[in-house]
Amino acid sequence: MTVVDTIKMTSLAKAAGCAAKLGAGDLSEVAFPLARLFNAQDHPDLLIGLEEPDDAAVYKLNDEQAIISTTDFFPPVVDHPYWFGAIAAANAMSDVFAMGGEVLMAINLVAFPASLEMDVLREILRGGAEKVRQGGGVLAGGHTIMDDEPKYGLAVTGIVHPDRIRQKGGAKPGDTIILTKPLGTGVITTALKNGKAHDDHVQTAMEIMATLNRDAAQVAQELDVNGMTDVTGYGITGHGHEMARLSNTNFHIHTANLQWMPGALEYAEQGIFPGGQGRNRAYYGRWVDFDEGVDDVMRNLVFDPQTSGGLLITIEAHKSNDLVAALHGRGIDAFVVGDVTEGDGRIVFS
């Protein structure tokens, strides 16, 4: 066996995947003051920037084209270098798809320990390159630095019609809420890091995380959905709250409808949660209400940070069955999780 087959990438990381994101509370203290330094009115072609949280920046080139720009990178979320690269690349490109766009090109972002063999790095980059190709883009270069903790991701450039941009703030009262991937990556990858995860659970989670959101986004565009984002480090609660707040609505989510990756409930019942779960609950908990029937395990799980999660979509209720059917027709295991009402950004779990 080679070093690629035996290395435990997660042992080199302090936190796994998107669970390594800076907490939303800390980030808000930096991002919002930074936004005030720049007057968006001086840049009318910057359609989406720092003012409100969205998945990517968008700059209008002309009446037919707008450029999407985003970046994402993180420490190893799984042990195998190839899967780490593939998942990180899928996660980075997801922001473009969540905005309704297509990927044009990507640039590698790499931090790599000098102590590791180059075969490990080759596998990370191979996984990323194959995903970029699958996502319809071209890998155009990159930048690499030495670091004791490996990290990998992409800077991604995409394109979208200015009138077809999908944003977090598009949800409307009466909409149905749909999710395109099961949840639970945070607890599963934490169980892996702690040496308590079953191999089959990890394999399934890797395959789901490495699945691109491209097909799901294309279907969403075809059916003209109202709001859309991808579920990553702030979990379904954090990203759901952002959508609800920016839309002046509340999200009602039925926990019985949530689908979890194999093993997620088992590890959660054992109390295996990443640090990001606690940060999410501490910050987003103020906007969350639980019905009495929601048990303690579920009250923790809904704050689980996701890595390369699915798309969270809102669409008029009368079109929701068509959307789910179209997603299933593309091999996407989408499911209805709740509905949208008038409100002020609260997430209600029943």
The set of residues, in sequence order, having a beta carbon less than 8 Å from that of 209 and lying 6+ positions away, is: 17, 77, 78, 87, 90, 91, 185, 307, 308, 309
Q: How far is CA 253 from the centre of its chain?
A: 18
Q: Which of 7, 15, 16, 18 is catalytic?
A: 18
Give the CB-side neighbour count of residue 270, counting CA atoms within 13 A.
13
Closest by Cα among 143, 116, 93, 110 to 9: 116
3-class state of residue 333 by DSSP? coil
C-alpha to C-alpha distance for 168 and 231, rounded to whole angstroms: 11
CB 223 within 8 A of CB 164: no
Residue 117, token pair as written in the block: 């063999």
266 is known as an active-site residue: no
CB 228 within 8 A of CB 166: yes
- On the CB side of 38, CA atoms within 13 Å amount to 12
The residues annotated with a catalytic role in the active site are: 18
